[in-house]
Structure 1
Amino acid sequence: MSILIPINHSEILKIYKETDQFTHKGIQGHAMIIGGSYGKIGSISLASKACLKTGCGLVTVFIPKCGYTSIQTSNPEVMVLTDEDEEVISEIHFEIKPQAVGIGPGLGQSDKSHNALQLFLKTYKIPMVIDADALNIISKFKKLLIHVEPKTIITPHPKELQLLIGSWISEKDKLNKSISFSKEHQLIIVMKGSPSRVIDGETVYENTTGNAALATAGSGDVLTGMITSLLAQLYSPLHAALIGVYLHGLTADIALPETGCQSFIASDIIAHIGKAFLSLEKEQKIN
């Protein structure tokens, strides 16, 4: 029987850690965001900027060559490594040692990207967030799941979830199938939706923040960057997922009075991450 726990201020304050005033970028975590393809570099721009804005000390992206100038211009704080291929990711290799990796936004589903993902999952055993096209590739080639480390975080939207677990006939059926999938593969599932849920085996956490403004292009890319950032800062996978989902929703709640629902875009999530943290820290001091 599953246990349902709300993701609210009181639960988040139990696990949230304020930044040490004597810290520096070298010990604030190094995250890597992998993905992008021709025409979809914006997803990496959003994810990497969100990763930085969520407190990570260093962020490196691994992208096709076509995205180099775009990322260096839009996100000057981000370091860039490029694939040999101009338009897609064909082989993932790097010498740096990030504490966490987010992979999938804008990746595409070409044969080259499939082969690159398979080799990457076999080779690199790093705390990881898997999203978007990386999940779509895995749903087509489910044998790849044997290479995914326990407690890896996956962040499917409803269609991606359906491809992974199969169709459902009700919300209860969807939840039960997601719990079974989480248990079978030892994965933490961030089930994006209204409300978003985080599933860790039999335990289901239901988010209490967020609104319809989050239903916008790039919102999921931002969430991937935020959770990857928290992983790189050495939060446990579950805690990184819970805090990331909560803050992501909170940005929309904070922004809604000034942006309205219709004009809110993914960049507005990033712009309000700071206020979401301040809200959390203010309440932490009160308590």
Structure 2
Amino acid sequence: MLVATSAQMKTVDSTAINRFGIPGIALMENAGRSVALKCLELLKLQRQKTEGETRGVSRKAVIFAGKGSNGGDGFVVARYLHNWGFDVVAILTGGRCEEVKGDARINLNICKEMGLPILEVPTSEPETLKAVEAALATADLIVDALLGTGSKGAPREPVSSIISLINDCSSKRKVPVVAVDLPSGVDADDGSIPGEVVKATQTVTMGLLKRGLILFPGAEAAGDVTVADISLPREAVAAADIEMEVITPEFLRSLGSGENGRESVSHGVLFPRKHDTHKGTYGHVLVIAGSRGFTGAATLAAMGALRAGAGLVTVACPAGIQDLVASKLTEAMTVPLPDDGSGKVCPAAADAVLDAAEGKNVIAVGPGLGRTQSVYLVIEALLERAKVPLVIDADGLSVLGGKAPVIKKAAETSGFLPVLTPHPGEMGRLLQKSTREVQDDRPGSVQTLARDASCVAVLKGARTLVSDGRRIYANLTGNPGMASGGMGDVLTGMIAGFIAQGASPLEGALLGVYLHGLAGDLALAQTGEKALLATDLLEQVGPAILKLSGASSLSPSQAV
């Protein structure tokens, strides 16, 4: 499922109209009808929930429309709802009827000819706003068609005041709000909210998802999002060269299918194993992690790899903590690394990790290692001399700030792109930017790191993003309960576990972030947000893999 910027969406629309000859008013008609159908569905569902108090479908709809094409969609919605028996009031905001142009004007005129009441709100005069409040006082449904995907910056008056009234009505009277394309006040490209914003119950977006609908805080304002098929030619979409897409189950199940004649990665990772296999068939992961006080990071990463399906896992950790790490791990092996006497690796560990890497299929390094010069030497040695894929996280990233040329050596040495899994703060250090700058442009940040460092970059957080430098993949699984210690360590292990089984670094990262989030969602159903721990998530990795594979062995209590 592709995710477009406002400019890319404009290109798609323009190509559909100018190259393929689809009239813009036909696209507007399809858009408006899609929204109207969602409104009908929403009100029916809402009424079912309160059927013990009142029967039938609510019939009062207030449509807020701007002067542009988004407002034109709103006038189409008004017409359909009117024809379906709703009492409809259309409120033109930010101008007068004679200022509306093009296809939007045609649909406005149709509404007027049909006798629909059109209230003009060109300014935020108190008397005018009182009329809007009166209309909202009896509304059962609100449609937001004020601002489109091209809108930038904080909404100006009178739109700002109207948004405030919409939110007040929705909050106090529990009136559902359906946004057309995206909630007014959300930036379509980065999800930022510079001023007032409509807090939608549902958003019906046209043709393709928009970045602002999946990136926070815009995603929160959007509510539930539906992508409406308005008959845009797929050739028009392809011509826009959209580089961002959502990680979906269908996409993951097809990973690697037919590529170079090999069996699909998803078949090897997600579906039942062949009978004539053994532990060596599913790869050997080396986890280099842990230091005194941070043994949990090593054990969580190891368990993440095991739960992902790796056949063997070995943990290389400072000698001073080996016994403690080993006592926490029943199924994994451990090897000691030279330490400095304080439970941290010493410079000699740089050669020792290369010895430990012999015979391994993938190396996960960084969780809980510490931020010392010795750790940098370990990471540098692996980047320059390891012959297998690397997954670098946590402290392994902290010592690499501004060292893209060093990271590039890994791809040159091993033939595999290393996987880097920073949170926003770590990403900032890698790119030598502030955390705020990273968060303000998450897609740009993850793509820049992947491109400049020749790696697969995984930018963690709400809506984790993955990039190989060419494409950007957005993950929609996961929940706020996962904002706790150890979650990233589990993810590191899971990615390594999938790579051990034959996934490429990019495929392993995509499978890892999706299934990690899905396991968190399954665990949430049992623990709630506040009590959710990384160990709870580990217990749900297996059910998550079953769910993604389409297996029927999940019990009702394990369903999301």
CA distance in 2, matches of 1:163, 1:230: 27
Cα drift, residue 238 of structure 1: 1.0
Provide the rounded CA distance (Å) in 1 between the counterparts of 2:458 and 2:408: 19
Is it true that 1:7 corresponds to 2:247 in the alignment? Answer: yes
What is the letter of the counterpart of residue 309 of structure 2?
G
1:57 aligns with 2:276: no
Structure 1 segment 80-159 matched on structure 2, within 5 A: 80-85=334-339, 86=341, 87-90=343-346, 91=349, 92-94=353-355, 96-139=358-401, 141-149=403-411, 151-159=417-425
* CA deviation after TM superposition for structure 1 residue 134, in Å: 0.7
Residue by residue over 1:209-234, the C-alpha shift from the partner in whole angstroms, topping out at 9 and shown as x without a partner, is: 11111111000000000000011111
Q: What letter is aligned with 2:546?
A: L
Q: How does 1:275-286 map to 2 (within 5 A)?
A: 275-282=543-550
Cα distance change on mapping 1:137 and 1:284 into 2, 3 Å:
farther
**2:278 matched to 1:24?**
yes
What is aligned with 2:428? 162
Equivalent residue letter for 1:5: E
Deviation at 1:263, TM superposition (A): 0.2
Query: Contact between 1:35 and 1:89, CA under 8 Å: does it hold in 2?
Result: no
**How far apart in 1 are the matches of 2:513 and 2:465?**
8
- Distance of 1:184 and 1:120 partners within structure 2: 19
Quick one: higher RCO (CA 8 Å, sep 6+), 1 or 2? 1
- Determine if contact 1:255/1:272 at 8 Å carries over to the other structure: yes
Distance 1:74 1:60 in 2: 13
Contact 1:2/1:204, CA 8 A, preserved across alignment: no
- AA matched with 2:428: Q
Instruction: Please give the secondary structure, in 1, of the residue aligned with 2:334.
Output: strand
Kindly indicate whether residue 525 of structure 2 is the aligned counterpart of residue 257 of structure 1.
yes
8 Å Cα contact 2:354-2:386 kept in structure 1: no
TM-superposition CA deviations, 1:8-63 (whole Å, max 9, x none): 21111212222423221011100100021111111000000111111000000110
> How many angstroms apart in 1 are the aligned matches of 2:492 and 2:242?
26
Q: Hey, what does 2:537 align to over in structure 1?
A: 269
| Per-residue CA distance 1:121-157 (angstroms, 9 max, x = gap) | 2221211101101100011655532433252110000
CA distance in 1, matches of 2:404, 2:253: 37
Greater Cα offset, 200-209 or 137-146: 137-146
Q: Which residue in the other structure is 1:71 paired with?
A: 325
Cα separation, 1, equivalents of 2:520 and 2:376: 34
Question: Using the alignment, how far apart are the partners of 2:322 and 2:310 within structure 1?
Answer: 21
**Structure 2 matches for 1:99-248, cutoff 5 A?**
99-139=361-401, 141-149=403-411, 151-165=417-431, 166-167=433-434, 169=437, 171=439, 173-248=441-516
Query: Which has the larger displacement, 240-249 or 140-149?
Result: 140-149
Structure of greater Rg: 2
Structure 2 vs 1, CA of residues 237 and 120 (structure 1 numbering), >3 Å: closer, same or farther?
Answer: closer
- The count of aligned residue pairs is 285
- Aligned-pair identity in percent equals 33
- In terms of mean alpha carbon deviation, does 94-103 or 262-271 score higher? 94-103
Distance in 1 (CA, whole Å) between partners of 2:402 and 2:292 is 22
Structure 1, unpaired ranges of 5+: none
- TM-superposed CA distance for 1:116, in Å, is 2.4
Once the two structures are superposed, residues 201-257 of structure 1 have per-residue CA deviations (whole angstroms, 9 ceiling, x without a partner) of 131111121111111100000000000001111101111111110100001111212
Distance of 2:285 and 2:447 partners within structure 1: 28
For residues 170 and 239 of structure 1, what CA distance do their matches in structure 2 show?
24
Deviation of the 1:111 alpha carbon = 2.0
CA–CA distance in structure 1, aligned partners of residues 490 and 445 of structure 2 = 26
Contact 2:443-2:465 within 8 A present in 1 as well: no
1:49-90 deviation line (CA, Å, top 9, x unaligned): 111111000000110012212222111111111112141122
Q: 1:43 to 1:199 in 2, by over 3 A?
A: same
Counterpart residue number, 1:43: 297
Q: Which moved more, 1:155-164 or 1:107-116?
A: 107-116
Runs of 4+ in 1 over 3 A off after TM superposition: 140-143, 168-174
Q: Distance in 2 between matches of 1:7 and 1:142?
A: 27
CA distance in 2 between counterparts of 1:25 and 1:155 reads 27
Amino acid at match of 2:485: A
Q: For 2:418, give the aligned amino acid.
A: T
2:279, 2:438 → 1: CA distance?
Answer: 46
Once residues 446 and 300 of structure 2 are traced to their aligned partners in structure 1, the CA distance between those partners, rounded to angstroms, is 28
